[in-house]
Structures are given as structure tokens and as C-alpha cells.
Chain A
Amino acid sequence: MKITIERGALLKSLSHVQSVVERRNTIPILSNVLIQASGGALSFTATDLDMEIVESLVADVIEEGGTTAPAHTLYDIVRKLPDGSQVQLESGGKDPRLMLRAGRSEFALACLPREDFPVLSAGELPHSFAIEAKELAKLIDKSKFAISMEETRYYLNGIYFHVTDGKSPKLRAVATDGHRLARVETDAPKGSESMPGIIVPRKTVLEISRLIEDGDGPVQVAVSDAKIRFEFDGAVLTSKLIDGTFPDYNRVIPDGNDKVLAVNGKEFSQAVDRVATISTEKSRAVKLNLERGRLGLAVTNPESGNANEEILVDYNADPMEIGFNARYLLDITSQLDGEEARFLLADAGAPTIVRDAKDDAVLYVLMPMRV
């Protein structure tokens, strides 16, 4: 194999590919990226056995062939090459290693035979549809912060995608860690209606969100009970799904919360952030004091002191006090694009709903804290 390619294009592909590769591997070849050149195209394949990415790009192929080389090392080298340089990759000559040349730099990297590289078979993916990159990005970006990291509840370690029943079905992305829940929806794309409910693992979610970042155009999605595949802009990402049952999240979303608090989202976030400065590392509790037309924010830390701030809000129900984890509040308010955030409350012990006044597509549920 012998190819020449511009550094910028190579770097972009390698950056997608290297993030799939785990930093530590017990199987050596999993640290490598499979490089193949044929026709006028160069392709990179990386896998962690749960997920596989194949990215193809146009290159000047002088001699067809392929090999596997350490993904992180390759990425680091290309990252450090000067902008605009032409990179040459060569393998299969006298030297058993992969030769990388650019300008006056030359690297020889240890390789493993490409025949040993594992292939993730996707199997049949019966449900397929297309979704605009921006729509998919919104579903993911506005819900991923709520994904649980708790290994004992593995079925929460991803985003749950499913399509609602009814006349105008919606494609929903739901994530929760037990403290907060995020639900984002969009009109169900044609062909997605028959899709089963699936849990896409966190690593796959982050990878696809990197892939479609700032991108435009449709993403092709294909789904089975066990796997999902995304195709976008020359890249194909195939991943196993989490084999588990996502809890019935509708039970968690209260419908009788009648106390409405409307605040300016930005003003509120800044105030929460300010008072939370003195909260303890462990608790991060902020107390909200609601009265007609005003909201008091208070943090008490027995060791360092206390903080109070008041903001003018739209609130007409009975006065109440409720506590939240400041970090969770900020996580949610930072997802709201509109000016006004709406809190729907019941009482100090019950889940609270947070919505964007301008955007019905997003809904958050937050569990209060004892304060």
C-alpha cells in the first residue's frame, strides 16, 4: 500500500476513529486502526468489539493494499504535523512496518497483519430511516448529560430512543440517572415508526455526536433489536445496543404539578451558579424560596458561611420552599435555548418539571433534595 493524502482530511478521520479505540487493551490488535487503500479511496476501521467505525475518504492511491497500526500513536503524529502538509503512508515493502512521511519527518510504526483485525458483523438491520443531522444532534445533545454512569443500573447507561404511538408519532430520546430525566422529541422520521425501543450506549452516543457535529444533511440510521448503524459523510458507525429494559419513564413525569414558576433562564442560571460557590463539595444544595413575584436562592454551608440572592420572577401560587442540587439545576438550564424557563412544581418532596417556554420538544424532570 502506498497513498498520499492532505493532513487536514487525515486528521479529521483519525480523530473520529481514535476515540473508538480504548486506551487500554488486553488484545493488542484492538489498539490498532485498520488502514485499507483501494480504488481511489482510503478507509480506516476501528473497533472496541462493541462498536465499530469505518471512515472512507478520497486519497491519492499509488498502490493498493492495507495494514493495521497503533491508532493513538498515528493520530498523535498526524496532529503534530504542520498544517497543510502532504502525508504519505506506505506499507508492504521491504520494511514490515508502516512508513509515514511528511516533509522532512519520517516515522516507522510497528504493524499487525490486517487479516487478524476483528470484524463486527451487523447482521440484518430491518428498520431504517433518515434523520437530519441537526435534529439527531439536538435529540442527543439535550439529553446526554442525564445518562447514568452507575454500572449496577446498566440499562440507564445510554439514551433510550423510541417512537410514540398516535396520529403524529414522535421519535423520543430519553435519559435518566435517577436524579434527573431528560426527554427530547422530534417528529418521527418516515420509516422509524416500526422501530423497537432501543438503548444506545453512552460511548456510541458520544461518538455519533462527534461525527455529526456541525454537519448538515441526512444521517442514515438502521436498527435491529441488538444493533444500530449510523451513516454520515463517509463514516459508518455500527454499535451493539444495551441489552436491557428501560424503565417506564412516563410514570416518573408528574402531571399534576400546578405551581408554575417562570424565570429568565440566563438570570436564574447565573444566580444559582453564584450562590452555589459556597456550597459544600458533597451536597451542592441550593434552597429555592418561592413567594409571589420573587424567588430567593439560598445556600448554607456550616463550614464556610451562607449566600442569598433574590430574583424577580413570575410566580402566583402559594409560597413554598424546595431544594435542588445546584449542578443538576445548571445542567438543565444550560440546555434551554429560549429566554424563559418554566418550572412546574408540586411540593418540596416531589419531582419538578422544567421546560423551555418556547420549545415543547424538550422536557426535564428533576428530583428535589432534602434541605
Chain B
Amino acid sequence: MSPALCRNCYTRIEAANARRCPSCHSPRVLRHDEVFTLGVAHVDCDAFYAAVEKRDNPDLANKPVIIGGGKRGVVSTACYLARSYGVHSAMPMFKALKACPDATVIRPRMSHYSAVGAEVKALMRELTPLVESLSIDEAFVDLRGTERLHRQSPAETMVKFAARVEKEIGITVSVGLSYCKFLAKMASDLDKPKGFSVIGETEALDFLARQPVSMIWGVGKSMGNKLARDGISTIGQIQKMDEKTLAKRYGAMGLRLAQLSHGQDARRVNPSAPMKSISNETTFFEDISNPEKLEEILWGLCENVSHRAKKSNLAGETVQLKLRTDQFKTISRSRTLADPTQLADKIFAHGADMLRKEVGAHKFRLIGIGIANLCDGDFADPPDLIDRQGTKRAEAERAMDKVRGKFGKDAIAKGRGIKSERG
């Protein structure tokens, strides 16, 4: 008889094979041999951006909602209702609207979503400091060793957590529970939305054997192709192979394949996994070749990147420019600076300089700018012997940030950011 837990009233269910909870009659029964011993969880918010929009505007509750940029953009999130029409993320918007003409399209409000994402993570951190954020809406939570602190098993803690997020924040999450990160992440994907899946040690091998190799973390398109060429499509096939052979054939990745295919994942939940870069990009309504227009858009993106860098007191030593032509060719350029920067002014100076070398021959559909090689903001933008004005511009930017903090984003802007009336 496997132990079980009611996800509705949190009762531990003693009766064997009860399909409904004996005390509240809910069918949401979580039954698994290892349910009370596993402690690594992965939490993923369900159709996150769409869920936030639906929460903020109840009129949308029963309508298909697509989050994404305009006619030319792509779908970044579709709510489950829209998904039933065949809409999925990364789909070009015009196709999505063909599949689901009644959908309400909403432009993403990233800073709002990240604020909601932060609320969800704050609730996780009340449970344990071992929270590793993966993106705006997903994170690992390591609850091993918290049984006595919370006077309950990690499974019970997470079931209550999911209910609390729904009640207090108004969105739903799916939880995967296992003994390692790799399987926890896989589990959270099994039963979406509002799911709770468990993968235990005893079933890990069998479960993995059935999965395609692409489920393995680190196997992307090119590794997948390489494996396919060698006739490997499922994780089960890898399980049967010798570690040494795999290492010889695929190098370091081969070793990882050997371990992960057997459900061995020694990675710890690392709460301080640092941010690697800060970037922002936009797809245009219509392809643009005019350099001035491109620079104007670039400036806005730089301000956004700079604002986020300053907010987290980070600075980047590298400025990266990304362009996509109307032929869908992506051009990436990067430049390492003498000193890390967090100023929009400097990011723009380097970005625009790189941009000038690329414009002319092409029309572009997308532009993006970012900073990477992040370090502490305290090292950013040291005073300069020659560019005395630079120090002043830095001060001006910081003053503007303060005004915006007080009166909102549009309260003050640099002349560059204001479109000329005369065109």
C-alpha cells in the first residue's frame, strides 16, 4: 500500500487504494511510495504571463489570451484556453491569430510579471533559503531536512505552498517533486496546469527509459541530431550504454548523459546562481533600415537595460548587440569595455558604434542590446581623466533614475528619447 496525501485538505490518507480523500471526498489524491521522503521540488507557474493578465482583469477569465508583441511579433505565452486552439509560444503572431481569431492579444508587461514572479519566490523563501531561481516564473526549492522545522514532509509543505500561491497571488503553479533537480524539473512538466507530480528513486530508471533524449538537460538541437545520427532517440538506449563509450564518443557531455540517464544528478540547489547578462530586445512592426530610427529604438532599450542593472547594482564588462535581418539572419556583435558600465549612455555609445558598422545593406526586423560579464556595480564607471563630462552624465542619469523612482517611468526623459515633432 502506498502512502497518500490529499491536495485539498492536506490529510494523510491511511486507507489503501482510496481514490477520493476519506475526509473531504476530493479526488485530488497524491499517492506515491516515496511521497513523504522526497525533498527536491521544481515549481513552474502555469502560463505565467497570461495568468497574471487574467488575474488583473477578471473579464478575461474565460477568454483565450495571448501575450506577445503586435502583428509582427511572436507569442510569448498563450493561456490554456488559447492553447486548445493550437496556439503555442514562439509561434508567429499572425499564425496564432489565424488559429484563434477571438484571442485577446496583450503586450507583455515584463516589469509587472517580474514583480509577481518575485512575490512567488518570496513565498518559497519563507520555506527555505535554498531557492534557486531559473527564470522569472520557475525555481528549484530544496526542502530536504526541513521536516522537523515545518513539522511536515516536503510534499505537504509544497502542496500547501501551491494552494497559498493560488489564494494569495491568484495564479496557479505546477510542482514536481523528486530527489534531484533533473527529475524534479521533469516531474513538474508531467501534470500541467495546477499539477503535482512525484518521481521517486525506484521508478526513475523506468520512467527515464521511456523519455526522448531531448528531455535531458543540455541536449539541444545539435546534440540531439548527433545522437539521432547514432540511432539514439530514447534515454533508455543511453542507459544500456557504457559510461566509457559515451565519454569517448561525446566527451564531457557523454559523461553527463550517462549519469543523467540513470537519474543521477549531483547538482545542488544553489540559491546564488548569479545572473549572467541583462538584455532587452524588440521586434519591429515593419522592417527598418533607417539608421537614425534604429538608434532611436536602441536608446530606449539601453535605458531599460541600464535601469535593471542599476536596480540590482550590477554592471557589465561586455556590451552585446543583436540584430535580425528581414531574411531572419541573426547578427551578434559584442565588445569588451575597459571598465564595467551600468550607464545607458555608455551602453548606447558602444551599441550604436557597433550598429553603425552593420547598417546599410540590410533591413532589420529586430534589435537587441545587453550587457554581460556582470560584476558588482561598485566597480562600474570609474571617473575618467579625459571625459570629465562622463562623470556628470553619470550623475545626471542617477538623478533621473531617482525622479523616475518617485514619479514614474515617463516623468523625465533625455532629449534623445523624445521623438522630434518635425520628424
A residues adjacent to B (C-beta < 8 A) = 148-153, 156, 176-181, 247, 249, 252, 282-283, 349, 351, 365, 367, 369-370
Is B338 interfacial (CB 8 A cutoff)?
Answer: yes
B338, A148: Cβ atoms closer than 8 Å: yes
**Which residue from chain B places its CB closest to the CB of A366 in the assembled complex?**
B385
- Once bound together, how far apart are the Cα atoms of A100 and B353, in whole Å? 45
A-B contact pairs, 5 of them (CB 8 A): A153-B386, A176-B385, A178-B384, A179-B339, A249-B386
| Residues of chain B with a CB closer than 8 A to A369's CB | 382
Instruction: Annotate B380-400 by CB proximity to A: 1 below 8 A, 0 otherwise.
Output: 001111110000000000000
Which residues of chain B have C-beta atoms less than 8 A from A282's C-beta?
A: 317, 340, 375-376, 379
| Residues A283 and B379 in contact, CB atoms below 8 Å apart | yes
Interface residues of B (CB under 8 A from A): 317, 335, 337-340, 349-350, 353, 375-376, 378-379, 382-387
Judged by DSSP, the binding face of B is mixed
Measured in the bound complex, the distance between the Cα atoms of B208 and A86 in whole Å is 69
A365→B383 CA distance, assembly (Å): 13
Q: Which B residues are CB-close (under 8 A) to A178?
A: 338, 384-387
| Cα distance A367–B383 in the bound complex, in angstroms | 7
* A349 cross-chain contacts in B, Cβ below 8 A: 383
- Find out whether the CB atom of A149 lies under 8 angstroms from the CB atom of B338: yes
Residue from B335, B338, B379 in contact with A177 in the complex, judged by beta carbons closer than 8 Å: B338
Contact (Cβ within 8 A) A152 B385: no
Q: Does B353 contact A152, Cβ atoms closer than 8 Å?
A: yes
Question: With A151-B335, A152-B350, A282-B340 in contact, is A176–B386 under 8 Å at CB?
Answer: yes
Chain A residues contacting B338 (CB-CB under 8 Å) are: 148-150, 177-179
Additional pairs, 11, CB under 8 Å, beyond known A151-B335, A178-B384: A150-B337, A150-B338, A152-B349, A153-B387, A179-B338, A179-B339, A181-B385, A247-B386, A249-B386, A282-B317, A283-B376
Instruction: Sort A-B residue pairs by CB-CB distance and give the 9 closest, nearest first.
Output: A178-B384, A282-B375, A252-B385, A247-B386, A178-B386, A152-B349, A152-B353, A367-B385, A178-B385
* B385 / chain A contacts, CB cutoff of 8 Å: 176, 178-181, 252, 351, 365, 367
A179, B384: Cβ atoms closer than 8 Å? yes
Check B382–A252 contact: CB distance below 8 A: no
For B384, the chain A residues whose CB sits under 8 A away are 178-179, 367
Nearest chain B CB to A92's CB is how many angstroms away? 41
Q: A residues within 8 A CB of B376?
A: 282-283
Report chain A residues within 8 Å CB of B335.
151
